[in-house]
Amino acid sequence: MRHNSLSLLCHRPASSEITPERVYLDRRRWIAAATASLAFRGAARAAEAPPLAKLAATRNARYSVTDTASAYEDITSYNNFYEFGTGKGDPQRNAGTLRTQPWSVTIGGEAETRGTYTLEDILKPHALEERVYRLRCVERWSMVIPWIGFPLGDLLRRFKPTSNAKFVAFRTLHDPKQMPGQRAGWLEWPYVEGLRIDEAMHPLAILVVGLYGRVLPNQNGAPLRLMVPWKYGFKSIKSIVGISFTRSMPPTSWNIATPGEYGFYANVNPAVAHPRWSQASERRIGASLFDATRPTEPFNGYAEQVAGLYRGMDLRRFF
Ligand code: MTE
């Protein structure tokens, strides 16, 4: 039953130390060397996985927070990606079956230009930026992630949305052969999400292709995902193959599954509790015990930039 499967969303995060990527990579090299010299190859297998390709991007300080970034290890091993299982470690373990090349994205609906494009064509005109954003999950954990991407609005404008385009709908790949979790019924597939057009055009909403200076790992939504930092993590849909401009509010996966618990807007709001738990605080993954629990901020700390989008709306009703 879907409602029960959502309880799985509430695992207690494992605590671990903050590990900057440089230290992490050095440690990986050290482990690889030590284990090879001991001819202890089995244990070294994970440490020897080839690193993902580097991705050049300039840091956009204006749109970056100054919080300490979470460890690469945590960002890539503590994930929600139900297409690969409901456990936090499942995506890292299972997402190797996802083929991210070739990849195409279909853009349709209320726009003058429509069609199916290769990922290369989608990315070509856009300069990549690094932006350090907070990610707050509805399960009350948070991380700080140096994403690499570009503004979603810049892409959307290329397709010249008509005046009928009031919303933007997003769709993840649907292929149970590559995404074994889609053989289970814990969500309706494909995973779908949506934004109001003005939210989608906001400069903080980005499409992501990498993190920590490298190509996006499969478990984080390769090769192309959304990142909307003022909303709960579930809005930031992964492995996107479809973008469509719509007249009316599009369906969204968690709202289909449990409408009483997950609304369309899903703005981070410490004043509006989830029906089964408070949203007033969160646990920063990887932070020290003393620093791990912190109050959740309205709009995940981005209120100054985005609160105006919701002026006059009752955010208790439109959760
Ligand atoms: N996108 C797809 N296609 N499938 C998913 O299960 N999970 C969402 C979101 N995007 C999800 C998804 C949830 S609940 C969260 S919290 C974030 O992805 C997690 O992103 P991360 O694993 O990169 O931290």
Of all protein residues, whose CA lies closest to atom 16 belonging to ligand 1? 233
Residues 30 and 165 in one domain: no
Residues 42 and 184 in one domain: no
pLDDT at res. 186: 95
Structural domain of residue 20, as residue ranges? 16-47
Environment class of residue 39 by beta-carbon count within 10 Å: exposed (0-12), middle (13-18) or buried (19+)? exposed
Of all protein residues, whose CA lies closest to atom 22 belonging to ligand 1? 79
In a domain? residue 2:
no
Residues 191 and 255 in one domain: yes
Residues 204 and 305 in one domain: yes
Of residues 211 and 18, more confidently modeled:
211
pLDDT at res. 144: 98
What is the distance in A from the centroid of ligand 1 to the CA of 82?
A: 8
* Sign of the C-alpha dihedral computed for residues 78, 8, 179 and 252 taken in this order: negative
pLDDT at res. 14: 41
Of all protein residues, whose CA lies closest to atom 4 belonging to ligand 1? 81
Residues 229 and 270 in one domain: yes
Sheet of 240-246: strand order equals 115-118, 104-109, 240-246, 167-172, 192-196
- Average pLDDT, rounded, for the chain: 89
pLDDT at res. 50: 73
What is the distance in A from the centroid of ligand 1 to the CA of 112?
A: 31
Of all protein residues, whose CA lies closest to atom 14 belonging to ligand 1? 234
pLDDT at res. 48: 55
pLDDT above 70 covers a percentage of the chain that reads: 85
Of residues 121 and 38, more confidently modeled:
121
Of all protein residues, whose CA lies closest to atom 12 belonging to ligand 1? 237
Atom of ligand 1 nearest to the CA of 143: 24
pLDDT at res. 290: 86
**Residue of 11, 207, 234 to test ligand 1 pocket, by largest number of atoms within 8 Å of CB:** 234
**Residue of 172, 209, 236 to test ligand 1 pocket, by largest number of atoms within 8 Å of CB:** 236
pLDDT at res. 289: 87
Is the model's pLDDT at 194 over the cut of 90?
yes
Q: Per residue in 51-60, pLDDT tens?
A: 899 999 999 9
What is the distance in A from the centroid of ligand 1 to the CA of 29?
A: 30
Q: Per residue in 61-72, pLDDT tens?
A: 999 999 999 999
In a domain? residue 265:
yes
In a domain? residue 70:
yes
What is the distance in A from the centroid of ligand 1 to the CA of 181?
A: 13
Residues 165 and 204 in one domain: yes
pLDDT at res. 51: 86
Is the model's pLDDT at 26 over the cut of 60?
no
In a domain? residue 21:
yes
Of residues 289 and 167, more confidently modeled:
167
Of residues 259 and 8, more confidently modeled:
259
Atom of ligand 1 nearest to the CA of 226: 10
Query: What is the tally of structural domains in the chain?
Result: 2
Task: Give the pocket of ligand 1 (CB within 6 Å).
Answer: 79-83, 135, 137, 172, 191, 220-221, 233-234, 236-239
Residues 40 and 59 in one domain: no
Of 30-44, 85-99, 180-194, 301-315, where does mean pLDDT reach its minimum?
A: 30-44
In a domain? residue 4:
no
In a domain? residue 276:
yes
What is the distance in A from the centroid of ligand 1 to the CA of 239?
A: 10
CATH code where residue 204 lies: 3.90.420.10
Q: What is the pTM of this model?
A: 0.87
Is the model's pLDDT at 183 over the cut of 80?
yes
Residues 71 and 184 in one domain: yes
Residues 215 and 247 in one domain: yes
What is the distance in A from the centroid of ligand 1 to the CA of 199?
A: 19
Residues 21 and 94 in one domain: no
In a domain? residue 145:
yes
Residues 29 and 64 in one domain: no
In a domain? residue 261:
yes
Residues 161 and 73 in one domain: yes
Is the model's pLDDT at 226 over the cut of 90?
yes
pLDDT at res. 49: 64
Mean pLDDT of all residues in 84-110: 98
Mean pLDDT of all residues in 106-122: 98
What is the distance in A from the centroid of ligand 1 to the CA of 246?
A: 23
What is the distance in A from the centroid of ligand 1 to the CA of 223?
A: 14
What is the distance in A from the centroid of ligand 1 to the CA of 151?
A: 19
